[in-house]
Amino acid sequence: MAIGRGQLFRSFREGLLKNAPPTVGQGPTGKENSRLCEKMTGFSPGTQSVEPPTLPRKKKKKKKAAKATVPCQPVVPLPRVPTKSSGKPAECTPNHIERMPPEILLKILSYLDALSLFSIGFTNKRFYEMAHNNGMWHKMYSAEYGHSKNWRPKRLDEVLDKLSAVVVQERPEGYWRRLYFRTMAGFNETKWRKELRDINPFTGLPSQTERILRSQRVTWEITVSDKWGLEGTFEQSRAYFSDSSVTVCWSSGRWPSFHQLSTLQLDGVKRQALSSPNINKPGWRSLMAKFDWDTISKSGQVIGRDQLVTLVLFSPSIVIGVWRGRWSIAFVMASFHYHRLVERSLLGTSMCPYSMPENKPPFDDMDPDSGLHGYTLRIILHNTVTQIMAGHFSQLYCSKSQVHGGFIQLNVINRGSLSQHTPLSGRISLPWKCEALEGTVENCCMMSLTLMDEYQNPFWCVSTPVCMALNSKEPSNDYEGQHFLIKYQDAEGKVRMDLVWLEEQRQYFLINLVVFIATAKVNKHFGRAY
């Protein structure tokens, strides 16, 4: 029995000596090995009856130039526990927020308000996913816009909470977040829709449009990007309201060069009421128009200039003022018609504009000339300071013989009827203003046109900058003076205005006004085939 245990400890000690790593200097002595075996196994080999024979050692020759070495302690390899590598350098500060459990982070984020939670979603991917949590947004939506609860039994409340949790889980990720901001944009939508039903019979447009836009805190922003992908967002500087349109100017900030533009995007923005005017929190965005460089370069046309700027019109309602000689943008000006302006500014999304519904009149099979008569026109010439001309014309019609060239012709003011000629109250001009300079471009102004059908519903609405050019080909025999022409055309119709300048009165007179409506638009609206 003792002999067997002695052989076991001897073989165990020889294995330790073989597996020991090489050390510099002398190795462990026999006594040290005995103490090591006793420490690891609990038994001392010296207590056994059979002592293992000692092996002869070879004497090493000492070199004369050898340096004295310090004897090292024996190192026995022990099994290592595998540890997960963080992959980060040791000098980096650990991110304690990333190590937090998601339940704790969701609890912390639940104390934020809606706009702060919206902003923190742009920090990183993890916060983006947590900021879209349906549970938080559903709780926030119910607290903000949910109906006030009357008293109910406790058991019923528990059942409703469980059902609500099931509904939240069934919705896709981010559903309640989108619903919250959409509801915020159109909160009290029923109220302002009722206010929009109050129609001004003189203009055919809602009479409370300006008040609703101001009460809903609606502004308009422009986002431009250059060819290198750099983006910039500009808030409106000024807004001028008239009875049928609003003119908005953007003049502050550093604009890119006109030839470096890549895209230009126009958004309606509804912002929250804040106690501090210096804090700018995000609000609901409604896309209204977006243009790329091809559209800007192909449709852009110069409509006027003064000593400092040149006006470039590239869409039916947007004009860009560029510094002469440098072609860097000085300001942007746009004119928006009141027709569906509240809906376009509030009910769209950041990716898709508001889709206007079709308002078709009842089909009248008893009237063979339906769509050719009963029109009413309201036209205004104005600028950012004053109103130049306003006219209201009713009972406009077109005979079938005047339908030609794909247009229906409506003669509003005739050259031969002197009683219809309308004087203008001022000169045709368009003042502009930027951060440091201001000026006036002559022979340019804004035109707002509203054409109503026989049911007094808006049929064709236009609000755009226009320019006046000298017309020497068609002089009038009734007036002596310079004749001018204002023309406008888009896919739905065109307008022609002839004016004459009387030097004695120092005044313009409108002597001819013709409105052309596209036949395709009339046929689609009235269900005809003209």
Tens of pLDDT, residues 295-313: 888 888 999 999 999 999 9
Q: What is the pLDDT of residue 108?
A: 87
Surface-to-core class of residue 133, CB atoms within 10 Å of its CB (0-12 exposed, 13-18 middle, 19+ buried) = buried
Q: What is the mean pLDDT of residues 153-170?
A: 51
pLDDT at residue 175 is higher than 70: yes
How many helices (H) does the chain have, and how many strands (E)? 14, 22
Please state, in angstroms and rounded to a whole number, the distance separating the CA atoms of residues 137 and 117. Answer: 9
Q: What is the pLDDT of residue 150?
A: 46
Q: How many residues does the chain have?
A: 530
Please state, in angstroms and rounded to a whole number, the distance separating the CA atoms of residues 372 and 494. Answer: 16
Q: Provide the 8-state DSSP code for 206.
A: B
123/9: higher pLDDT = 123
Residue of 372, 377, 433 lying closest to 402 (CA atoms) = 372
| Residue 515's pLDDT band (cuts 50, 70, 90) | very high
Evaluate whether 302 touches 441 at the Cβ level (below 8 Å).
no
Q: Tokens 């895209």 correspond to what residue?
A: 263
Task: Tell me the whole-structure pTM to 2 decimals.
Answer: 0.69
| Residue 2's pLDDT band (cuts 50, 70, 90) | low
Q: Give the distance between the most distant pair of CA atoms in the chain.
A: 145
pLDDT at residue 242 is higher than 60: yes
Surface-to-core class of residue 174, CB atoms within 10 Å of its CB (0-12 exposed, 13-18 middle, 19+ buried) = middle
Q: What is the pLDDT of residue 22?
A: 54
Positions of E strands within 10-84: none
Q: What is the pLDDT of residue 63?
A: 45
Evaluate whether 306 touches 442 at the Cβ level (below 8 Å).
yes
Mean pLDDT of the chain, nearest integer: 79
Sign of the dihedral defined by the CA atoms of residues 265, 268, 270, 275, in that order: positive
pLDDT at residue 181 is higher than 80: no
The percent of residues in the chain predicted with pLDDT above 90, rounded, is 37
Q: Provide the 8-state DSSP code for 520.
A: H
Q: What is the pLDDT of residue 466?
A: 95
Q: Provide the 8-state DSSP code for 75.
A: -
CB atoms within 10 A of CB 16: 15
Q: What is the pLDDT of residue 167?
A: 54
| Residue 5's pLDDT band (cuts 50, 70, 90) | low
104/54: higher pLDDT = 104
CB crowding 225-239: b at 16 or more within 10 Å, else e: bbeeeeeeebebbeb
